[in-house]
Amino acid sequence: MRERQAAQQARRAREFQAFVAGAAGRLLHAATLLTGERPDANPRARVLLTGALAATYASWDRLRGEDPYDRTRTALVVRFARGAWRRPRAHGGLLDRLSPQERLVLVLRLYEGVAEEQTAALLGLPVERVRALSARAVAAVLHPPRGPAPAAAQPQVPPTALGKAASP
Amino acid sequence: MSQQERREAAVRQLLDAGGPAPVPPDLHTDAVRRGAGMLRRRTVLRRAGWLLLLAAVLAFAVWAADARPWTEPPSRTTPPLTRW
């Protein structure tokens, strides 16, 4: 019993290490795009990825053929979506002018190549909304608006103001 | 290739630029530590749940053996007297 448990633990550790060695770089890049941080200074992306990887490690023995990469990406997206609205906006990243939702759609659809329907299901949005967000995000990345008040930043303002007012 | 696809391909190239990020060496260790903690907490919770269930079953068995709720309670009223 104890021996079998130890063997299982050793196998899990070995497989997990191989998985992290292969996938962490790409996942960390995706997380950094999501948080809008600079690639060389991404503390939030690291925290997000560590949490997502820990959840994958904890469910490693019950994956039953499911792709651990998909599992970790889903955990990453859920963690980011849950905490994004009460975080201050990061600066310096490629997508730092986009709203958190636009970043999610862009990273899932274009960087990760997830289908529109799956992206919609993962984010809990209608497919048309995902399409619209994607088109707006693509336009914002290709033609960054000049001036202090970019259009993409406007939806971000009320939640931030609310969050500050609610926590004196 | 449509206009939309061309634009998406351009953005995809921008997103891919820089390649995979350099991974800090302690990321794997931290993830394993936190993941093992989650597993441990889950195990403890599961054990506590089973223990609670066992205690509830035992308590019920003891109570049932004592109270015998399946037996008919003794009658408390005297049957009415007819015919003297």
Q: Give the residue extent of every domain in chain A.
A: 1-96, 97-157
Q: Is the CB of residue B5 less than 8 Å from the CB of residue A110?
A: no
Question: What integer pLDDT is reported at residue A106 of this predicted model?
Answer: 94
A2 min Cα distance to partner chain B (Å): 15
Kindly state whether B45 is in contact with chain A, defined as any CB-CB distance less than 8 angstroms: no
Between chains, do A94 and B22 touch, taking CB under 8 Å as contact? no
Which of A19, A37, A50 to mutate to test binding with chain B, by most B CBs within 10 Å of its CB?
A: A50
Q: Is the CB of residue A106 less than 8 Å from the CB of residue A138?
A: yes
Percent of chain A with pLDDT over 70: 85
Lowest pLDDT segment from A25-34, A78-87, A98-107, A132-141: A78-87
Tens digit of each residue's pLDDT (9 = 90 or more) over B22-75 = 899 899 999 999 999 999 999 999 999 999 999 999 999 999 999 899 988 888
CATH of A97-157, one of 2.102.10, 1.10.10, 3.90.550, 2.50.20: 1.10.10
Q: What is the CA radius of gyration of chain A?
A: 18
How would residue A158 be classed by pLDDT, with cut points 50, 70 and 90?
Answer: very low
Arithmetic mean of pLDDT, A153-158: 46
In chain A, residues with a C-beta closer than 8 Å to the C-beta of B28 are 17, 20-21, 24, 53
Nearby residues of B83 by Cβ (< 8 Å), 6 or more positions away: none
Two tokens, residue A4: 């079998």
End-to-end CA distance of chain A: 54
How would residue A10 be classed by pLDDT, with cut points 50, 70 and 90?
Answer: very high
Question: What integer pLDDT is reported at residue B81 of this predicted model?
Answer: 82
* pTM score of the predicted model: 0.78
- With the CA atoms of A152, A155, A159 and A164 taken in that order, what torsion angle do they form, in degrees rounded to the nearest 10? 60
Residue with tokens 């997000």: A48
Q: What values do phi and psi take at A112, rounded to 5? A: -95, -15
pLDDT > 60? residue A71: yes
Residues composing chain B: 84
pLDDT > 80? residue A142: yes
Write the DSSP symbol of residue B25.
T
Between chains, do A50 and B12 touch, taking CB under 8 Å as contact? no
Q: Quote the Cα angle for A81-A87-A91, to 5°.
A: 105
Q: Is the dihedral of CA A16, A18, A23, A24 positive or negative?
A: positive
How far is the CA of B8 from the CAs of A55, A97, A113, A131, in angstroms? 32, 18, 11, 12
Q: Quote the Cα angle for A98-A104-A106, to 5°.
A: 75
Question: What integer pLDDT is reported at residue A64 of this predicted model?
Answer: 87
A12 min Cα distance to partner chain B (Å): 10
Kindly state whether A8 is in contact with chain B, defined as any CB-CB distance less than 8 angstroms: no
Arithmetic mean of pLDDT, A31-38: 91
In chain B, residues with a C-beta closer than 8 Å to the C-beta of A45 are 21
Kindly state whether B23 is in contact with chain A, defined as any CB-CB distance less than 8 angstroms: yes
